[in-house]
Every structure is written in C-alpha cells, then in structure tokens.
Chain A
Amino acid sequence: QQQVKQSPQSLIVQKGGISIINCAYENTAFDYFPWYQQFPGKGPALLIAIRPDVSEKKEGRFTISFNKSAKQFSLHIMDSQPGDSATYFCAASRGVQGAQKLVFGQGTRLTINP
C-alpha cells in the first residue's frame, strides 16, 4: 500500500520557470512532511519541511503548500535554475509514535533547461 503518492515522475522546466511537484497522503496520523533533494550518487538531503498546523512555508525560492483537508502537499520552486536539476522526494512521518520513520513518495526527476 503506497501511503504517499507523488507526481509527476519527471518534469522538465525552462530556466526561470516555476516547478511544481505534488504529493498526496493517506494516513491522517502523519504530522511531519519534508521534501528531500537528491543529486546523482549522493544521499537525499532535506530541502524544506512543514507541519500540518500551517498551510504554507517558504524558504528562499522553495515553498511548500499544505492542504490538510485534501491530504495533499506540494513543492513549488520559483525561478528554477539548472542547479535545481535533481530528484525530489516528498515524505511523511508520524513523529515519535512512528519512530520518525519516513514514508517516501516515488520521486520526481526534475530537469531545468538553460
């Protein structure tokens, strides 16, 4: 059972454009929603995260939008740059009760064309 569904699988955006990646979750007990960025040959690294008590969080060019009623959250990358080309994973966890285990989406391969 896939608890976190991510789309699209791949995305091509022109430099300067907006990249949008969407995720949907099933378990309402999730209380932490991070996005990880992974470059080839590297482990994932935390990009930005949100908790369900807020609807939006912005850090620089990266924004998470969170819709608790729809059980959906999305990553927006403004002014996308070639250096943003990577694979992005959304994830969710249940905090201490879930021992912080992360449930990941399937990943989105983002390519930013110069």
Chain B
Amino acid sequence: GAGVSQSPSNKVTEKGKDVELRCDPISGHTALYWYRQSLGQGLEFLIYFQGNSAPDKSGLPSDRFSAERTGGSVSTLTIQRTQQEDSAVYLCASIPQVWTQGEQFFGPGTRLTVL
C-alpha cells in the first residue's frame, strides 16, 4: 500500500515569502504529526492532529507557523514570512489512532531552503 507522501520534495524560497508544505498520510490513519529536522539536529515535534483537530500546537516555533487538516486526511503546514532559520527538512508522520503506541510512519520530507 501507499505510504506517507509529502510535496514538494524540495522548496527554495526567498526570505519573507510564504510557503505551503503538504502531507498525505496513510489512508485510514487518523493521527498525523509534523516534525522539523534542522541540519545536524534531531527531529523536533511541531504539531499533531487527531482527525481535523490540533489539540497540541506547542511545538510551533512562532506564530508564523500554522497547520490545518481537512477531511481527516491531507494536512498543510504553512510558514509565513519565511526566515533563514526556517531552513530545514519538514517531516510528516501518521499512525492509525492517537492511542496506538507503536511505529510512526514517516514521509520522505520536504527540504526547505530560505535564501
């Protein structure tokens, strides 16, 4: 079956522009997570969704970051007025339910470069 997909795979933008990153989770997975992987760093949690609601946005680094999920499926992470420190790989993961402890299935990520 299809895994988690993300688009675009690479995004180069200029400082101050807005960007949208897309995640398509595994079909039927109701919980979806966004993580950020900065160069030489581990992954840091940004936000998660259970269905279309986002109970925990605590990892979003600033109010320039927002995310939404529609139809319990595709999620979009939006970064407004991008800064150079936003350059990173943004990873999405999904699991069947938020109470399912076990493997999180990751997409290949979107590499964002802010010039």
The reply on A74 being an interface residue by CB < 8 A is: no
Q: When the two chains form the complex, which single residue of A42, A43, A45, A103 contacts B45, counting CB atoms closer than 8 Å?
A: A103
Bits for A77-114, please: 1 = Cβ < 8 Å to B, else 0.
00000000000010001011001111111110000000
Kindly identify which residue among A46, A101, A105 contacts B103, using a CB–CB cutoff of 8 Å.
A46
Contact between B43 and A44 (Cβ–Cβ < 8 Å)?
Answer: yes
| Residues on the B chain within 8 Å of A101, using CB | 33, 45, 48, 56
In the complex, chain A residues whose CB is within 8 Å of the CB of B43: 44, 89, 102, 104
Question: Is B100 touching A100 in the complex (CB atoms < 8 A)?
Answer: yes
In the complex, chain B residues 89-115 whose Cβ is within 8 Å of any chain A Cβ: 91, 93, 95, 98-104, 106-109
How far is the CB of A89 from the nearest CB of chain B, in Å?
6
Contact B98 A99 (CB under 8 A): yes
A41 contacts partner chain B, Cβ-Cβ < 8 Å:
yes
Is the CB–CB distance between A42 and B108 below 8 Å?
yes
Q: Which residues of A contact B104 (CB under 8 A)?
A: 46, 100, 102
Given A41-B108, A43-B107, decide whether A100 and B101 contact each other with a Cβ distance below 8 A: yes
Q: How large is the interface on B (under 10, 10 to 19, 20 to 34, 35 or more residues)?
A: 20 to 34
Contact at A100–B41, with CB atoms within 8 Å? no
B115 to chain A, nearest CB (A): 21
Q: State which of A42, A89, A96 has its C-beta within 8 Å of the C-beta of B98.
A: A96
State how many angstroms separate the Cβ of A4 from the closest Cβ of chain B: 8
Q: Which residues of B contact A89 (CB under 8 A)?
A: 42-43
When chains A and B are docked, how far (Å) is the Cα of A6 from the Cα of B99? 27
Return 11 A-B CB contacts under 8 Å, by A number: A43-B4, A43-B108, A44-B91, A49-B103, A89-B42, A96-B99, A99-B50, A100-B104, A101-B45, A104-B44, A106-B42
User: A residues engaging B (CB < 8 A)?
Assistant: 4, 6, 31-32, 34, 36, 41-46, 49, 89, 93, 95-96, 99-107
| Known A99-B50, A100-B104, A107-B40; further 13 A-B contacts with Cβ < 8 A | A4-B42, A42-B108, A43-B91, A96-B99, A99-B55, A99-B98, A100-B31, A101-B45, A102-B45, A102-B104, A104-B42, A105-B42, A106-B40
